């Protein structure tokens, strides 16, 4: 990692991290609150330095299908959007998962439904982790809560995507995308040569050579016996991801009587609410899921034996709370507090909710 | 002279292209797809580009084109082949990148991707099979279906007042500055097959020479969908399709 400490927006950090990671292609369509990603890339003009392709597509549908084409060649390719645009991409994401193609997707969420608002939200949780497109597939989902993690998760996302041949998503929101913080960017890495990609990705469509059969990237299989086997293979892969890749952060949980569960910007708000609660003598901690899929059910289940209750704080109508309840499995109280439509809750109201719904309920 | 004297290499005048795989084709007897597949295989073989070719298959009758040609393929979502091809060619500029699309794929659901890729002048070749009908799904109306033509979703014949006119998308594409070749061909006679092959080769050369977007439309028969014998379908195409979709180069620069 670079020693230089910079001040920038989360969206800008993603763009710079992508160039430095050696990403081969970015394909995107402008939408608030994430347009800084493509603007930063266009300004940096990496095609002159690393050779990275940056293309403004005609739509999110074209963007995600460009990602499909590039990923089929074994390239490091990515796109970014915000909620309405991500909805348009869902068909393509299903195809990417069905064709087992690695790529990085970024959703800087805004409030919905519909055109909604340009203000921050976390209302695409279900869409992302429960499958917004058709068919039984899963998206590896990373939830950064700082500008530093926006930069770091570019590399982590690509590593996991290529390890499992599956799309990976950075699920963030307008707060993390737009806020400025200190960040140390990763060091520059050279882009892989075609020869290196052919070795690392023997499945990539880079032209059939005499030493192998043609590579065919498709999600089509008309024979249901074979398609079921394909699905079993996908599910086995997903179980491996669930076994190996769960990531979370425990904050002040050791002595906690009450635990917040929150991801992304909501976790930053809860961090402050913990301080306020502890000033009043309440022992409060937090579990912050970093991977939303695979979800950290086990750690929640372990604390469910020890604490008096969980409060899930989300900027939506209560989506992740369903997974927290699965983790707790009825052992103790689980409640939700959140705001919707682009409203970011304050730490004071979160603490009030903790008292009303858990501590004094 | 017995047969063994005749079967000798110097007497060979025709052979199946090396890049055509030994698998049964799913296309109906009389369909134009088989001929066009063969031409693509011949051209790639003659240009020596097997190890540089990446084909993009559509959704439609040619969805399994990847089974028949011995090259690398990607199978696109319906209509999105030009978006895939855009990324492949931008990321791998030394490759031959072509899409193979039907009229529903290219001129209905994929109109946006087709026009935008062509307008950017992506250095790709687009092979466009226009048979005026949805073959794979069982003979529904296509954007290119002729006026008064009967299909399963226009059982009384296409009514241009409710369904619009046959979409001459090649004429539209020829207007775009990014397009270097827009040509309309057919494969119903030996002479037509030769001309179509020349144009496919030119389109592939344009892709390799980064000249812009090339579109080769093949006005084709769908005798199953049209409910005709193969020879009736050829005659019907000449009488009815060619007046609306006249053959020749709309643009060749």
pLDDT at B8 over 90: no
Task: Say if A1 falls within a structural domain.
Answer: no
Q: What is the C-alpha separation between A297 and A276, in angstroms, rounded?
A: 27
Work out the pLDDT band at B198, boundaries 50, 70, 90: very high
Q: Does the distance separating the beta carbons of B88 and A220 come in below 8 Å?
A: no
Give how far Cα B186 sits from Cα of A11, B175, B210, Å. 51, 22, 26
Q: What is the pLDDT of residues B51-79, one digit of tens each?
A: 999 999 999 999 999 999 999 999 999 99
CB A62 within 8 A of CB A91: no
From chain A, the residues in CB contact with B80 under 8 A are 61-62, 65, 68, 92
Give how far Cα A52 sits from Cα of A49, B16, B204, Å. 8, 41, 25
Give residue B5's pLDDT.
80
- Are A180 and A272 within one domain? no
Task: Say if A221 falls within a structural domain.
Answer: no
Tally of CA atoms within 13 A in the half-sphere of A225 that contains its CB: 0
- Are A165 and A96 within one domain? yes
Report H helices in chain B.
3-6, 33-47, 81-91, 103-104, 111-119, 160-163, 169-174, 190-208, 223-226, 230-236, 242-244
Give how far Cα A216 sits from Cα of A112, B37, B69, Å. 38, 17, 11
CB B228 within 8 A of CB B123: no
Q: How many CB atoms lie within 10 A of CB A148?
A: 17
CB B197 within 8 A of CB B40: no
Tally of CA atoms within 13 A in the half-sphere of B79 that contains its CB: 14
Q: What is the pLDDT of residues A283-340, one digit of tens each?
A: 999 999 999 999 999 999 999 999 999 999 999 999 999 999 999 999 999 999 999 9
CATH number at residue A257: 3.40.50.920
- Are A169 and A294 within one domain? no
Per-window interface: A 16-45 vs B, CB < 8 A: 24-25, 27
To the nearest whole Å, the CA of A164 is away from the closest chain B CA by: 20
Task: Say if B127 falls within a structural domain.
Answer: yes
Q: Does the distance separating the beta carbons of B84 and A66 come in below 8 Å?
A: yes
Cis peptide before A33 (omega within 30 of 0): yes
pLDDT at A122 over 70: yes
Minimal Cβ distance to B87: which of A27, A206, A209:
A27
Task: Say if A177 falls within a structural domain.
Answer: yes
Task: Say if B72 falls within a structural domain.
Answer: yes
From chain A, the residues in CB contact with B88 under 8 A are 69-70, 72-73, 205
Residue with tokens 């293309």: A55
Q: Which domain holds residue A98?
A: 6-195
Give residue A131's pLDDT.
86
CATH number at residue A114: 3.40.50.970
To the nearest whole Å, the CA of B115 is away from the closest chain A CA by: 10
Mean of pLDDT over chain B: 96
Q: How many domains does chain A have?
A: 2
Work out the pLDDT band at B1, boundaries 50, 70, 90: low
Q: Is residue A59 less than 8 Å (CB to CB) from chain B?
A: yes
Task: Say if A189 falls within a structural domain.
Answer: yes
Mean of pLDDT over chain A: 98
Task: Say if A242 falls within a structural domain.
Answer: no
Write down which residue in A156, A172, A195 finishes a domain. Answer: A195
Q: How many domains does chain B have?
A: 1
Tally of CA atoms within 13 A in the half-sphere of A292 that contains its CB: 30
Q: What is the pLDDT of residues B83-123, one digit of tens each?
A: 999 999 999 999 999 999 999 999 999 999 999 999 999 99
Q: What is the pLDDT of residues A155-177, one digit of tens each?
A: 999 999 999 999 999 999 999 99
Determine the residue of chain B that is closest to A58 in CA distance. Answer: B116
* E strands in A128-218: 140-142, 167-173, 180-183, 216-217
- Give the residue from A91, A86, A98 showing the smallest Cα distance to A167: A98
Give residue B10's pLDDT.
86
Tell me: ipTM over 0.90: yes
Q: Does the distance separating the beta carbons of A69 and B85 come in below 8 Å?
A: yes
Task: Say if B37 falls within a structural domain.
Answer: yes
Give residue A3's pLDDT.
86
Task: Say if A41 falls within a structural domain.
Answer: yes
Task: Say if A322 falls within a structural domain.
Answer: yes
Give residue B13's pLDDT.
87
Task: Say if B188 falls within a structural domain.
Answer: yes
Work out the pLDDT band at B2, boundaries 50, 70, 90: confident
Determine the residue of chain A that is closest to B112 in CA distance. Answer: A58
Q: Which domain holds residue B103?
A: 26-252
Minimal Cβ distance to A73: which of B51, B86, B91:
B91
Determine the residue of chain B that is closest to A27 in CA distance. Answer: B87
pLDDT at A202 over 80: yes
- Are A146 and A58 within one domain? yes
pLDDT at B221 over 80: yes
One DSSP character per residue, B74-126 reads: EEPSTT-HHHHHHHHHHH-TTSEEEEEEEHHIIIIITHHHHHHHHHTT-S-EE
Contacts of B132 (CB under 8 A, 6+ apart): B103, B142, B144, B145, B146, B149, B166, B222, B241
To the nearest whole Å, the CA of B208 is away from the closest chain A CA by: 14
- Are A96 and A186 within one domain? yes
From chain A, the residues in CB contact with B85 under 8 A are 69
Q: Strand pairing of A140-142 and A291-293? A: antiparallel
- Give the residue from B180, B252, B178, B185 showing the smallest Cα distance to B216: B185
- Are A190 and A253 within one domain? no
From chain A, the residues in CB contact with B71 under 8 A are 207-208, 214
Write down which residue in A173, A195, A217 finishes a domain. Answer: A195
Task: Say if B20 falls within a structural domain.
Answer: no
Give residue A232's pLDDT.
98
Q: What is the C-alpha separation between B31 and B16, in angstroms, rounded?
A: 18
Determine the residue of chain B that is closest to A75 in CA distance. Answer: B91
Give residue B9's pLDDT.
84
- Are A57 and A189 within one domain? yes
pLDDT at A29 over 80: yes
Task: Say if B2 falls within a structural domain.
Answer: no
Q: What is the C-alpha separation between A76 and A197, in angstroms, rounded?
A: 10
Q: How many CB atoms lie within 10 A of CB B172?
A: 17
Give how far Cα A165 sits from Cα of A76, A222, A241, Å. 12, 22, 11
Determine the residue of chain A that is closest to B65 in CA distance. Answer: A216
Minimal Cβ distance to A95: which of B66, B77, B88:
B77
Task: Say if A240 falls within a structural domain.
Answer: no
- Give the residue from A314, A311, A254 showing the smallest Cα distance to A120: A314
Average pLDDT over residues B229-250: 97
- Residue A236 in tokens: 């086995």
Task: Say if B17 falls within a structural domain.
Answer: no
Residue with tokens 């330095």: A49
Q: What is the C-alpha separation between A323 and A287, in angstroms, rounded?
A: 13
Q: Model-level pTM greater than 0.90?
A: yes
Contacts of A298 (CB under 8 A, 6+ apart): A246, A327
Write down which residue in A152, A171, A195 finishes a domain. Answer: A195
Per-window interface: A 271-290 vs B, CB < 8 A: none
Q: What is the pLDDT of residues A240-299, one digit of tens each?
A: 999 999 999 999 999 999 999 999 999 999 999 999 999 999 999 999 999 999 999 999
Task: Say if B78 falls within a structural domain.
Answer: yes
Give residue A215's pLDDT.
98
One DSSP character per residue, B124-148 reads: -EEEEEE-SEETTTTSEE-TTPPTT
CB B213 within 8 A of CB B128: no
- Give the residue from A28, A232, A240, A238 showing the smallest Cα distance to A130: A238
Cross-strand partners of B157:
none
CATH number at residue B87: 3.40.50.970
To the nearest whole Å, the CA of B141 is away from the closest chain A CA by: 24
One DSSP character per residue, A67-91 reads: HHHHHHTT--EEEEE-HHHHHHHHH
């Amino acid at each position: 990692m670079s020693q230089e400490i910079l001040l920038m927006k989360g969206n800008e950090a993603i763009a710079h991290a992508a160039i430095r990671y050696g990403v081969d292609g970015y394909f995107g369509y402008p939408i608030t609150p994430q347009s800084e990603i493509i603007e930063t890339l266009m300004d940096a003009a990496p095609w002159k330095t690393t050779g990275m392709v940056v293309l403004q597509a005609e739509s999110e549908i074209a963007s995600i299908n460009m990602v499909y084409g590039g990923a089929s060649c074994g390239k490091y390719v990515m796109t970014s959007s915000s909620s309405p645009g991500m909805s348009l991409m869902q068909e393509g994401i299903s195809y990417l998962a069905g064709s087992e193609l690695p790529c990085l997707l970024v959703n800087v969420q805004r409030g919905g439904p519909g055109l909604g608002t340009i203000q921050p939200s976390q209302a695409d949780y279900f869409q992302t982790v429960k499958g917004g497109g058709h068919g039984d597939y899963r998206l590896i989902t990373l939830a950064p809560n700082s500008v530093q993690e926006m930069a770091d998760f570019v590399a982590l996302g690509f590593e996991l995507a290529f390890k499992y041949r599956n799309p990976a998503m950075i699920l963030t929101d307008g707060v993390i995308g737009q806020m400025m913080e200190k960040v140390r960017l990763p060091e520059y890495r050279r882009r892989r040569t075609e020869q290196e990609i052919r070795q690392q990705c023997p499945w990539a469509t880079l032209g059939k050579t005499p030493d192998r059969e043609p590579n065919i990237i498709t999600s089509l299989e008309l024979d249901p016996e074979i398609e079921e086997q394909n699905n079993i293979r996908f599910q086995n892969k997903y179980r491996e991801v669930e076994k190996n890749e769960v990531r979370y952060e425990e904050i002040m949980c050791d002595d906690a009587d009450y635990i917040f569960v929150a991801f992304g910007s909501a976790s930053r708000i809860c961090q402050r609410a913990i301080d306020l609660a502890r000033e009043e003598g309440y022992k409060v901690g937090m579990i912050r899921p970093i991977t939303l899929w695979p979800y950290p059910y086990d750690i929640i289940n372990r604390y469910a034996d020890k604490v008096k209750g969980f409060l899930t704080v989300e900027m939506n109508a209560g989506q992740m709370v369903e997974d927290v309840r699965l983790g707790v499995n009825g052992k103790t109280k689980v409640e939700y507090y959140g705001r919707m439509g682009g409203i970011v809750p304050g730490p004071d109201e979160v603490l009030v909710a903790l008292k009303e719904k858990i501590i004094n309920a | 002279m017995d047969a063994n004297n005749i079967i000798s290499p110097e007497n060979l005048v025709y052979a199946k292209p090396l890049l055509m795989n030994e698998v049964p084709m799913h296309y109906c007897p009389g369909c134009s797809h088989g001929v066009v597949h063969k031409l693509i295989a011949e051209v790639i073989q003659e240009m020596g580009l097997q190890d540089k070719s990446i084909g993009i298959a559509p959704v439609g009758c040619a969805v399994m084109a990847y089974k028949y040609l011995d090259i690398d393929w990607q199978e696109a979502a319906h209509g999105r082949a030009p978006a895939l091809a855009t990324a492949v060619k931008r990321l791998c500029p030394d490759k031959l990148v072509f899409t193979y699309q039907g009229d529903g794929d290219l001129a209905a659901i994929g109109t946006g991707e087709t026009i935008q890729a062509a307008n950017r002048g992506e250095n790709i070749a687009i092979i466009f099979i226009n048979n005026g009908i949805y073959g794979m799904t069982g003979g529904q109306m296509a954007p290119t279906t002729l006026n008064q033509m009967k299909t399963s979703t226009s059982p009384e014949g296409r009514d241009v007042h409710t369904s619009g006119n046959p979409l001459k998308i090649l004429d539209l594409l020829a207007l775009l500055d990014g397009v270097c070749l827009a040509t309309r061909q057919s494969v119903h006679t030996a002479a037509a097959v030769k001309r179509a092959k020349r144009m496919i080769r030119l389109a592939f050369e344009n892709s390799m020479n980064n000249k812009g977007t090339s579109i080769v439309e093949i006005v084709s028969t769908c005798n199953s969908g049209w409910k005709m014998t193969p020879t009736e379908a050829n005659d019907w195409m000449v009488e009815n399709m060619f007046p609306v979709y006249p053959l020749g180069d709309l643009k060749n620069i």
